[in-house]
Structure 1
Amino acid sequence: MRAVRTTVNRVLLGAVGLVLTVLGGSVLAVGLGAPAPSWWIHDGRRDVLLGDAERTRWREADWWWPVVLAALAVLLLLALWWLASVLRRHRLDEVLVDTGDGEGAVLRARALEGALAAEAGRPDGVERAHVRLTGRRGAPRSRVRLLLAPHLDPESALRDFTTGPLAHAREAVGLASLPTEVRLKGVRHRAERVG
């Protein structure tokens, strides 16, 4: 799925870039004095982009400018949505599991995230654990956030996590390594006023 999305993004970016380059290059060439082709929308170097006749052609139609502005707004929103989806770090869909028989299997990444988060949140002092898998199917990476109680030492929490839940997840999937970024955050407790 991710490979298809990457291919579609590359094809769309290439097509949009090619169209914009051809149009921009043509406008530049005509503006610099190159002869305009017969199909070109302008007559030559001194022609304006929107003449009086083109600008006032739809003046009597009340629907024209709202439709144009709505279409441009929709195009802008689609472009922003596409940009946000490209820039966002994608969550891994599945992880390849080494079964030892040479064929392997596929595990849903959310199942592994849930199991890892459940085991990481089990020890005393870990209030909450959140796990997200990124990377490739055969070489996943994980990002973990642990919310720690005030009495828990961050160093021992990190050591317990890497030797416990992280090692178990790595062994269960059959990975030689599972690069992990762990963020530790302490819980803030409000002191109550006595007296």
Structure 2
Amino acid sequence: MSPVLRVVNRVLLALVGLVLLVLGGSVLAVGLGAPAPSWWIHHDRHDVLLDDAERTRWRDAGWWWPVVIAALAVLVLLALWWLIAVLRRHRLSEILVDTGDGEGATLRGGALEDALADEAGEVDGVDRARAHLTGRRTAPEAHVRLSLEPDVDPGTALHDVTSGALSHARDAAGLSSLPAEVRLRGVRHRPERVS
């Protein structure tokens, strides 16, 4: 998750939490007999949140229910989008490289992913390779998926990718370590009819 998105996420969560805490605390306090705040819409603990007049005021207006349903649907979609954005494993957009001169440099995460996947794909017996980086800019983690040819020893392919592509990616980015998760999968070829 990018730093800007992380800040926006935390600010939105804090605001939503604060609003819910104030409203919920007010309802609870008034319900338990505390005097209602001056900004509260009701006056004592025996008032209902929506009385009959408020609940049925817009019943005859043809636009009311479609607007309410549309607004609730938009809120649900926004909440689902937010949840998916928070839970999704985000790719690393850039990596901080220590150049040794105190300045540092940034390396595009996509460039390192492409280089890692290309080199892993050139290993004998690897049909296809995909890679993506997660983690922090200063401590990235690699996730590599390898599709192996049918007659390849998985241990040999894993060793070749680890000692080759992953090692080169770590050295190229100037990292002391590059934790990696490598998933291996065998390629299934369709049977061909021989006549």
TM exceeds 0.5?
A: yes
- CA apart distance, 1:190: 4.0
Give the TM-score, by structure 2 length. 0.93
Give the TM-score, by structure 1 length. 0.93
1:42 aligns with 2:42: yes
1:31 aligns with 2:31: yes
1:180 aligns with 2:180: yes
- Rounded Cα–Cα distance in structure 2 between residues aligned with 1:100 and 1:35: 64
C-alpha contact (below 8 Å) 2:120/2:129 kept by paired residues: yes
- Rounded Cα–Cα distance in structure 1 between residues aligned with 2:38 and 2:103: 61
1:149 aligns with 2:149: yes
- CA apart distance, 1:193: 6.2
- Rounded Cα–Cα distance in structure 2 between residues aligned with 1:98 and 1:46: 65
- CA apart distance, 1:102: 3.1
- Rounded Cα–Cα distance in structure 1 between residues aligned with 2:188 and 2:98: 42
- CA apart distance, 1:58: 1.1
What is the DSSP-based 3-state SS (H/G/I as helix, E as strand, rest coil) of the residue aligned with 2:155?
helix
What is the DSSP-based 3-state SS (H/G/I as helix, E as strand, rest coil) of the residue aligned with 1:129?
strand
- Cα distance per residue 1:119-172 (max 9 Å; x no partner): 100123101101010111111110000000111100000110111111111111
The amino acid across from 1:171 in the alignment is D
- Rounded Cα–Cα distance in structure 1 between residues aligned with 2:167 and 2:37: 68
2:62 corresponds to = 62
Q: What does residue range 148-167 of structure 1 map to in structure 2 within 5 Å?
A: 148-167=148-167
Closer, same or farther: CA 177–39 of 1 in aligned 2, 3 Å: closer
- Rounded Cα–Cα distance in structure 1 between residues aligned with 2:101 and 2:34: 67
* Structure 2 unaligned residues grouped into runs of 5+: none
- Rounded Cα–Cα distance in structure 2 between residues aligned with 1:39 and 1:128: 63
- Cα distance per residue 1:47-96 (max 9 Å; x no partner): 22211111111122110111111111111111111111111111100112
1:123 corresponds to = 123
- Rounded Cα–Cα distance in structure 2 between residues aligned with 1:194 and 1:91: 45
| CA RMSD in angstroms, aligned pairs only | 1.7
The amino acid across from 1:24 in the alignment is G
1:9 corresponds to = 9
- CA apart distance, 1:192: 4.8
Deviates more, 1:183-192 or 1:3-12: 183-192
% same residue: 73
- CA apart distance, 1:14: 0.9
What is the DSSP-based 3-state SS (H/G/I as helix, E as strand, rest coil) of the residue aligned with 1:99?
coil
- CA apart distance, 1:35: 2.0
2:22 corresponds to = 22
The amino acid across from 2:152 in the alignment is L
- CA apart distance, 1:191: 4.2
The amino acid across from 1:65 in the alignment is W
- Rounded Cα–Cα distance in structure 1 between residues aligned with 2:139 and 2:36: 54
